[in-house]
Chain A
């Protein structure tokens, strides 16, 4: 057998490799921060210039509220009125509930699709058919089916976001080494242990990637759904601002949507990184 000296050397080598990898990661992180700041600064400058020209032109001066400065000034006003918090809470609740339903339905069905060939073949046509229907086109039917607007919107968000979760889960499972299941069976794993200790950790990366994609879709569906009938949420706040010609409020709400979406996407990216066991994929 190899001596322990070999083990020590290997660990020392791993330490050296780990050190240089740490430095590389730190450099990549600082580059990422710089790109983030510079990218947003460019966007803000372009917005500022556009807002200046709109305000300077007498023909468009009535829309000066779309500019960067009026928008930023609208934030404390919306906060003090409680509109920002109320709209964010209402939209956040619908998004969270819809995503929860999508994950609760999408992950188990995705696992079945990945593990059971006949189920995958049987469901392929109906799922592809349903997936291609624009979620918002269900709106008139959901209004009839659900007694509350909230439930309608939650259904639409769930319907829109279930597909990325489901298909990403199934694709993740299809990539899993089948021998892992054989080894686990050989070592006495029960079906529940197979699920919780082998399948879910093996595909957690894919599940969170699916959730990340679904979040983008859900956010895109949520705002137009709120434009249609409800009296709360970010979509409704935008419609309300347009009707009262409060363009600075309107742009502030649009900006809020972008900020929340970016924040949620960042959390998903962090979760993917946290649960990923793949090397060099992030």
Chain B
């Protein structure tokens, strides 16, 4: 499995949910290099998930253009696949059927489809679970199936909308490491929307901070750290401090929370989380 990433260009993007409502964001600009892992960090309500849905072609922008390799994006495609907060697997299908559902939609021959599915299951280390019902899997395993379902399409871009926020810390750490290493190995682009600063540092080559109403990209950071990245690495910790400072100066410090001293609740969707 070898995948080529895309160059992403977003020009003057704007979106509003209703014609009379306030815009979620206006005149938003964004570029991403081929094969780059990009994180978008911001508080809930700043429009980062909406932006991701628009890039995926699942929502239409009110204004502006999105281009992949110079070609305008005007709808969903199996070349750019999205992973959601929950795995949203189809419970009447087995693991292998869930993974191969996109290939079935594309009418792949059974033999080739089975080969691709097995390869994707091997990548996420679920090859022993091909014939198991997805209802028998843990949350982490289900999210791995969702990852395999995305990878099997050999996407040029994988969009992740806080995909690990519902998982326990160990599973989340393992998936963050695995998704980045698979993306780098296969060469596709990643765009990760998260409110978890650590997730951005561990997974991204570059982090964008989105804030305000209407939302805009207020600052960006290169994350030039070597792989594999560990939470306890000094470089990672230093980057976390820089990113937290930048975030709070750009987006405002959350009331009653200590930006550096305390670990904020992960269930509080209005906060940006750091894992000490």
**CB-CB under 8 A for A187 and B81, given A4-B125, A8-B128, A14-B136:** yes
CA separation between A204 and B81, bound complex, in Å?
A: 28
| CB <8 Å contact, B88 and A202 | no
A1-17 CB contacts (< 8 Å) to partner B: 1-2, 4, 7-8, 11, 14
Contacts of B90 in A (CB 8 A): 180, 198, 201-202
| CB <8 Å contact, A2 and B174 | yes
Contacts of B82 in A (CB 8 A): 186
Binds A, one of B98-106, B195-203, B243-251: B98-106
**CB-CB under 8 A for A1 and B92, given A187-B78, A188-B78, A188-B102:** no
Main secondary structure of the interface of A (DSSP, over half): helix
Contacts of A177 in B (CB 8 A): 88
Contacts of A279 in B (CB 8 A): 135
Tell me if A185 counts as interface (CB < 8 A to partner B): yes
Nearest chain-B residue to A278 (Cβ)? B91
Tell me if A141 counts as interface (CB < 8 A to partner B): no
| CB <8 Å contact, A1 and B174 | yes
Beyond the given A1-B125, A185-B76, A187-B149, please list 4 additional residue pairs across the A-B interface where CB-CB is below 8 A: A1-B178, A11-B132, A183-B88, A279-B135
Tell me if A193 counts as interface (CB < 8 A to partner B): yes
Tell me if B84 counts as interface (CB < 8 A to partner A): yes
CA separation between A197 and B129, bound complex, in Å?
A: 22
Tell me if B207 counts as interface (CB < 8 A to partner A): no
Return the CB mask of A171-212 against B: 1 if under 8 Å, else 0.
Answer: 000000101101111111110010001100110100000000
Contacts of A277 in B (CB 8 A): 91-92, 135
Give A262 Cβ to nearest chain B Cβ, in Å.
Answer: 29
Out of B105, B136, B149, which one reaches A188, CB within 8 Å? B105
Give A189 Cβ to nearest chain B Cβ, in Å.
Answer: 5
Contacts of A179 in B (CB 8 A): 84, 86, 88
CA separation between A10 and B102, bound complex, in Å?
A: 27
Nearest chain-B residue to A193 (Cβ)? B105
Give B97 Cβ to nearest chain A Cβ, in Å.
Answer: 10
**CB-CB under 8 A for A182 and B58, given A1-B178, A11-B128:** yes
18 contacts between A and B (CB under 8 A): A1-B174, A179-B84, A179-B86, A179-B88, A180-B90, A185-B58, A186-B56, A186-B81, A186-B82, A187-B78, A187-B102, A187-B149, A187-B153, A193-B105, A197-B105, A202-B92, A277-B91, A279-B135
Q: Give the number of chain B interface residues (Cβ < 8 Å).
A: 29
- Interfacial residues, chain A to chain B (CB-CB below 8 A): 1-2, 4, 7-8, 11, 14, 177, 179-180, 182-190, 193, 197-198, 201-202, 204, 277, 279
Nearest chain-A residue to B106 (Cβ)? A188
Give B94 Cβ to nearest chain A Cβ, in Å.
Answer: 11
Nearest chain-A residue to B82 (Cβ)? A186
Give A195 Cβ to nearest chain B Cβ, in Å.
Answer: 12
Contacts of A182 in B (CB 8 A): 58, 84, 88
Give A18 Cβ to nearest chain B Cβ, in Å.
Answer: 9
Give A85 Cβ to nearest chain B Cβ, in Å.
Answer: 39
Closest A-B pairs by Cβ, 4 of them: A187-B102, A277-B92, A179-B88, A188-B78
- Interfacial residues, chain B to chain A (CB-CB below 8 A): 56, 58, 76-78, 81-82, 84, 86, 88, 90-92, 101-102, 104-106, 125-126, 128-129, 132, 135-136, 149, 153, 174, 178
Give A9 Cβ to nearest chain B Cβ, in Å.
Answer: 11
CA separation between A7 and B77, bound complex, in Å?
A: 33
CA separation between A193 and B129, bound complex, in Å?
A: 26
CA separation between A185 and B132, bound complex, in Å?
A: 25
Point out which of A14, A186, A193, A277 has the most chain B C-beta atoms below 10 A from its C-beta: A186
Contacts of B104 in A (CB 8 A): 193, 197
CA separation between A124 and B77, bound complex, in Å?
A: 36
Nearest chain-A residue to B107 (Cβ)? A193
Nearest chain-B residue to A182 (Cβ)? B58
CA separation between A151 and B102, bound complex, in Å?
A: 45
Nearest chain-A residue to B181 (Cβ)? A1
**CB-CB under 8 A for A187 and B84, given A1-B178, A201-B90:** no
Give A22 Cβ to nearest chain B Cβ, in Å.
Answer: 15
Contacts of A183 in B (CB 8 A): 84, 88
CA separation between A86 and B245, bound complex, in Å?
A: 86
CA separation between A276 and B190, bound complex, in Å?
A: 37
Give B153 Cβ to nearest chain A Cβ, in Å.
Answer: 7
Give B57 Cβ to nearest chain A Cβ, in Å.
Answer: 8
Contacts of B76 in A (CB 8 A): 185-186, 188
